[in-house]
Amino acid sequence: MALAVASAAVVASSARPAFAGSGTLLVYLHVSVKQRAFQGLLGAGLPGVTTTAVGRIADFERALKDSPDAVLTLPLVLSAQGLSSTLHGYTRGSTEERYALVGAGGAPDPARVASVGALDLLGREGTARFVRRLVGPQARVERVTKIEDLLPLLQMQRVEAVLLPSRLFPELRAASRLALAVRELELTVGLPAVASTGPAGAAVLAAISRMPKDVARLLGVEEWR
């Protein structure tokens, strides 16, 4: 499944920044374009910043050992690594966003769903705790490493529902022939944020704050502050 592949070309065409930064940036986020394309968009949008984008928690933890100047990921991931965010993503004036459960044939009941597919954010135990905080302690959690891997979990009936940011549901629905239904959850999750972790951290944060808007929207962010 290729989620939002067409949008990648639009984003790339608009990523023509006028600000050059410096330093190194480690990015660990799940987005609806291929990893190589994502890194290319970040490189174009953050000129002068050496950017490494990873999509697996093990790769993220290894790359942290190289001491990047800044780290861009979800606040819950920063917290798990003992890092504090100094630049926050905002959308509609909030640093939080809603997540949703998506099922086939009917909207899942968070209190009753027995199995949930989710992106592997924090490894086996950490991801399970994250999902159960949003859904409930009864849920068995099956992890995947890419957004496009969520839909096959429903197609093959390996889970009753999948969990993802609500903003990604239209793309998931457009990519599937299943009759998908969504149930938005009450609890919210922090939008991407940045921690300064090295001597050139301030320069990297300044570059991110001027990131082209189309690239920021790919992360679910309207502005940085």
**Residue boundaries of the structural domains of the chain:** 5-90+191-224, 96-189
* Span 108-137, pLDDT tens digits: 999 999 999 999 999 999 999 999 999 999
CB-based burial, 49-66: b 16+ in 10 Å, e otherwise: bbbbbbbebeebeebbee
Q: Could you tell me the pTM of the whole model?
A: 0.89
Pairing label, strands 96-104, 161-165 = antiparallel
Query: Does domain 5-90+191-224 sit in CATH 3.40.190?
Result: yes
**Share above pLDDT 70 across residues of the chain, in percent, rounded to a whole number:** 91
Q: Is the per-residue pLDDT at 1 higher than 60?
A: no
Q: How far apart are CA 211 and CA 15, in angstroms?
A: 8
Q: Is the per-residue pLDDT at 165 higher than 60?
A: yes
Q: How far apart are CA 10 and CA 64, in angstroms?
A: 31
The alpha carbon torsion through 200, 202, 206, 209 (nearest 10 deg) reads 120
Give Rg (Cα) of the chain.
17
**Do 5-90+191-224 and 96-189 come out as alike in CATH topology?**
yes
* Span 170-205, pLDDT tens digits: 999 999 989 999 999 999 999 999 999 999 999 999
Query: Homologous superfamily of 96-189 in CATH?
Result: Periplasmic binding protein-like II (3.40.190.10)
